[in-house]
Amino acid sequence: MRAADLDYELPPELIAQRAAEPRDSARLLVYDRKSSAVRHRRFHDLPLELGESDLIVVNDTRVLPVRVRARRSTGGAAEVLLLEPRGNGTWEALVRPYRRLHAGETLRAGDLAVTIVERLGEGRALVQPEAIGSLEAALERDGEMPLPPYITEPLEDRSRYQTVYARESGSAAAPTAGLHFTERLWEQIRERHEVVAVTLDVGLDTFRPLAVDIVEKHPIHSERYHLAPATAAAVERARDEGRRVVAVGTTTVRVLETVFGEPRGELEGRSRLLITPGFRFRATDAMVTNFHLPRSTLLAMVMAFAGVEPIRDLYRTAVSERYRFYSFGDATLIL
């Protein structure tokens, strides 16, 4: 697949700057792969599109406020975006201004001190954060939510970049398809359906635009995932019984297809799965997802699931109908 196959025209004003209020009032574009039918709904109509026997699978990762605006010893401004712990108290991070920061330098923000251990290239560094008390508590005090760069409005309420079912701390970005659930809608889904969770710590590389012409040559970074034995058993049972497995979000799809693909994956590890057209989905029967950036691996995954031309048509429809795009935008349900 060529990167140019993932291009589409999007008016800038359709990039959502804030979440819908309430969350489940976001629009929902439904596409039925068998009939090619398209339906325009609101997200709170999701239960009307689900079958009683459907198994719902979500990613319960919790976003940490890992963007730290710090000061150098010279007084100059710096920024650290903690991506993932690497052991012995170190983290991989994006740091700015990268060219001016050197190994051994310590940046400070409130109760948090971050020392550059090693420069890794491409704006990345191995860093050692230290805090008075726990690091997570220090980040809650002194960090900011790591919003994507296309969201330029300040985030007034951190909870809006967190799913209502978030449990396992560790992500540098939200599994955004789940942001549309309100507590009430989530309880409604849980009352009517069997619901299980996987955990995948979402990294920023998930959203990184392609830098190569051939999508399959994209150097995708790995992400940590975990699947409880009870969750795996529920998915296996649903497959054996011919029930539909509905994945909320592309990160959930990535875990399911990593674990239940060929060859089978472990219940815990790192996923390096790059899904492009031609991929055989073995555990995902329906998908809830947002509208994705051009030239992104996420859009390639959606095209692999529903077809290249149908998704092109669906995105053209979404633009013409003025749907809102990206992290705080509207959603699609692909059946």
For the segment 266-286, what is each residue's pLDDT rounded down to a tens digit? 999 999 999 999 999 999 999
Residue 136, number of CB atoms within 10 A of its CB: 14
**What confidence score (pLDDT) does residue 141 get?**
93
Q: Give me the mean pLDDT over the 122-142 stretch.
A: 93
Same domain assignment for residues 221 and 325: yes
Q: What is the pTM of this model?
A: 0.94
Instruction: Report residue 206's pLDDT band, with 50, 70 and 90 as the boundaries.
Output: low
Measured distance CA(265)–CA(55) in Å, rounded: 20
User: Taking a C-beta distance cutoff of 8 angstroms, is the pair 180, 20 a contact?
Assistant: yes
Instruction: Report residue 205's pLDDT band, with 50, 70 and 90 as the boundaries.
Output: low
**What confidence score (pLDDT) does residue 210 get?**
82
User: Taking a C-beta distance cutoff of 8 angstroms, is the pair 159, 173 a contact?
Assistant: no
Same domain assignment for residues 325 and 272: yes
Measured distance CA(183)–CA(132) in Å, rounded: 34
Q: Which of 55-64, 85-94, 230-239 has the lowest mean pLDDT?
A: 85-94
Same domain assignment for residues 181 and 290: yes
Same domain assignment for residues 108 and 256: no
User: At residue 209, does pLDDT exceed 80?
Assistant: no
Instruction: Report residue 219's pLDDT band, with 50, 70 and 90 as the boundaries.
Output: confident
User: Taking a C-beta distance cutoff of 8 angstroms, is the pair 114, 142 a contact?
Assistant: no
Same domain assignment for residues 225 and 263: yes
User: Residue 46 pairs with which residues in a beta bridge?
Assistant: none
Containing domain of residue 52, as a range? 3-63+156-334
User: Taking a C-beta distance cutoff of 8 angstroms, is the pair 175, 254 a contact?
Assistant: no
Instruction: Report residue 220's pLDDT band, with 50, 70 and 90 as the boundaries.
Output: confident
| H/E stretch holding 320 | helix 308-320
Same domain assignment for residues 81 and 29: no
Nearest to 169, CA basis, from 61, 59, 58: 61
Say how many domains are in the chain: 2
Measured distance CA(61)–CA(170) in Å, rounded: 7
**What confidence score (pLDDT) does residue 299 get?**
96
Three-class HEC string of 203-263:
CHHHHCCCCCCEHHHCCCCCEEEECCHHHHHHHHHHHHCCCCEEEECHHHHHHHHHHHCCC
Nearest to 129, CA basis, from 120, 142, 146, 148: 142
Per-residue exposure over 156-165, b if at least 16 CB sit within 10 Å of its own CB, e if not: eeeebbbbbb
Helix ranges (H only) for 182-249 are 183-192, 229-240
Instruction: Find the radius of gyration of the CA atoms of the chain.
Output: 20
Same domain assignment for residues 187 and 293: yes
Residue 126, number of CB atoms within 10 A of its CB: 17
Same domain assignment for residues 173 and 25: yes
